[in-house]
Structure 1
C-alpha cells in the first residue's frame, strides 16, 4: 500500500523544526562519535549499483551501507550513544564534562551509580549497552517476547542487565518507563511520549549524521539540483527517517529530494499517521521479520518532521524484504555484494515493489532519470536468521564482497 502525503512541503526547512533538530548539532555529534573507539572514524561507504539500476529501469541506485558503521553493525550506533552523552552532560551540566572523555570512560567513577534503561527490538539496546559500558554507567534493557536469543546475547555481552516480558515492543516501552520511575533510573528511548522528548530528539539527531555524510560523499550543493531524486527510508517509530530527512531538507532547501518511508505491512503506524493526520498506531499484529521496524506506534516528536517532510508512506511484506536481502547479497561483476539485515533491506524492498507497479512508480515519479538513495541500516545483526533467510551466511557474502573490492 502507498499513501501520498498532501501535507508534504517542498519549501525551505521550517524554522520550528530547525529549533528542534539542525545541521550544526548533527555535525557536532558526528565529530564526537568519530572519537569513540566503537565507531569508524570516517564515513560509511556509498555504493553505486549500476546493473540493478539498469534492471529496474532507473538512472542510478546508491546504497549507504550502515552495516560497517561499527562492530554493532547498525545505524543505531549513532543514536543511543549520543543521547546518553547528552543526557549525562545535562545531568552534570555544572561540571562541564568533555563528551570525548565520557566516551573514553574517564568519568566512570562519577557515573558508577547512574543507571539507564530502555526497551528495544535489538539494535538500539545493543548500542546503548555499548555506550553505557564505555562511559561507566549501568544499563538495563527490556526485551519483548519476539526478540531472539541471539540478539539478547549480543546485548548482554556489553554488560547490560536483561529483563524479559511476554508482551510486544510497545509493552516493553511501557515496562521500561515503569522501571525507571520506580527505581530512579533514566530512560534512553528512541521513541517519544507525553513529557518525554529530549532524549528521543537526541537519538534522532544522532541519526542525522548519515544525511551529513551522504551529502558530502555525493558532493551536493544546495544551490543546484540534488544528487538524489528519491530517498527511501525505513519506518519503525520514525526516528531514522526524521533524522536523515531533516538534515537533507535543511541542507538542500527547496531542492530537496522526494522522501519515501517504508515499513512492514503489519507495523504500519507511520502510514496510518499520514492517513489520520497525527501520530497513530499500527493496524496489524506488529510482529515482522523486519524486527527493527516492528513498532506499533509512531513517535510524536518524529512525526512532527515526517508530517511535513515525507512525500510518500508505503508498506512492504516480509517476503519483499527477504527478496531485497537476497538481491543485495548476490551482487555481480559491477554491483558489490552487500550484507543487509531484515530491516536494512526495507528501503530497497520498497523500491522493488514500486517498480513492479506502473501506476505506483508513476505516482512517485520514478523513471529512467531517477537517482535513488537507499539506506542499508543494518548488517546481519542476527547471523543465524540472516543465513536462514538468504540461504548463505553473512561471512560468505562478506568474503565475496572482499574479492569484489580487490578487483
Structure 2
C-alpha cells in the first residue's frame, strides 16, 4: 500500500502554529508541487483570516468574546512566526460558523460504508465540515472551482481533537445542537 500525495490539505488554526508546521512541512517536502493548503478558523476568532485579509504581511489580532464551540481555536492573537509561514505558503484562508464544525463532527460520527468512525471534537472536525460545505453548497461553487476541488481530489484532514466535552458532544451528535441552516440541507 503506497502513500498518495494529497492534492489538498485542510488545516485548522488558532494562533497558527499547527497550521504553519504542517503547511511548512509539505512545502519543504514538495516545494512548488505541495498540495493546495486551506486554513480554516472559527468566524468568531479569525485572527489568521483577518491577517490575510489585511494583505500587509503582518499578523493582526482580533478582539471580542471569541465565542465559539471550537474552544481550541478561540485565539485572538496569531503567532508572528506561524503567520510568516502561512502568509507565504497557504493558498486560502476560510472562516466558518460553528454549525460547520458541528457538521464535521456529525459526518465523522456517521461514516459512509467503508469509512472509519471517528469521534471528533469541534476543533478537530471543522476542516471536514468546511470541505463538505464547499463541496455541497451551490453558493460556494466559485470557491470550489478556485480551489480546484472535484471528485478526483485527494484531501488530507488532520484531526486534533477527540471528545473533550462529552456533554456538548452528545448535544451536537444526539440532540442536533448547532444545526446546519435548513437552506443547506441535503436534498435528493
Fold match (TM-score > 0.5):
yes
**3-state DSSP class of the match of 2:157?**
strand
**3-state DSSP class of the match of 1:231?**
strand
Q: Alpha carbons of 1:344 and 1:252: their partners in 2 closer, same or farther (altered >3 Å)? A: same
Q: Alpha carbons of 1:343 and 1:257: their partners in 2 closer, same or farther (altered >3 Å)? A: same
Could you list the structure 1 runs, at least 4 aligned residues long, displaced by more than 4 angstroms after superposition: none
**3-state DSSP class of the match of 2:122?**
coil
Aligned to 2:181: none
Aligned to 2:97: 317
Aligned to 1:270: 48
Unaligned 5+ residue runs, structure 1?
1-216, 221-226, 393-407
Greater Rg over alpha carbons, structure: 1
Q: Choose which of 381, 388, 398 in structure 1 pairs with 2:171.
A: 388
Number of equivalent positions:
170
Greater length-normalized contact order (CA 8 Å, ≥ 6 residues apart): 2
Aligned to 2:112: 332
**CA deviation vs aligned residue, 1:154-180 (integer Å, no higher than 9, x gap):** xxxxxxxxxxxxxxxxxxxxxxxxxxx
Q: CA deviation at 1:350?
A: 1.5
**3-state DSSP class of the match of 1:345?**
helix
Alignment of 1:2-401 (within 5 A): 219=3, 227-276=5-54, 277=56, 278-282=58-62, 285-355=65-135, 356=137, 357-391=140-174
Q: Alpha carbons of 1:255 and 1:376: their partners in 2 closer, same or farther (altered >3 Å)? A: same
Q: Alpha carbons of 1:367 and 1:333: their partners in 2 closer, same or farther (altered >3 Å)? A: closer
Q: CA deviation at 1:367?
A: 1.4
**3-state DSSP class of the match of 1:263?**
strand
Aligned to 1:148: none
Q: Alpha carbons of 1:348 and 1:379: their partners in 2 closer, same or farther (altered >3 Å)? A: same
Q: CA deviation at 1:283?
A: 5.8
* TM-score w.r.t. length of structure 2: 0.85
- Give the Cα–Cα distance (whole angstroms) in 2 for the partners of residues 359 and 218 of structure 1: 33
Q: CA deviation at 1:323?
A: 1.0
Aligned to 1:26: none
Does structure 2 retain, via aligned residues, the 8 Å contact 1:266–1:283?
no
- Give the Cα–Cα distance (whole angstroms) in 1 for the partners of residues 130 and 99 of structure 2: 12
What is the aligned-residue RMSD (CA, Å)? 1.6
**3-state DSSP class of the match of 1:344?**
helix
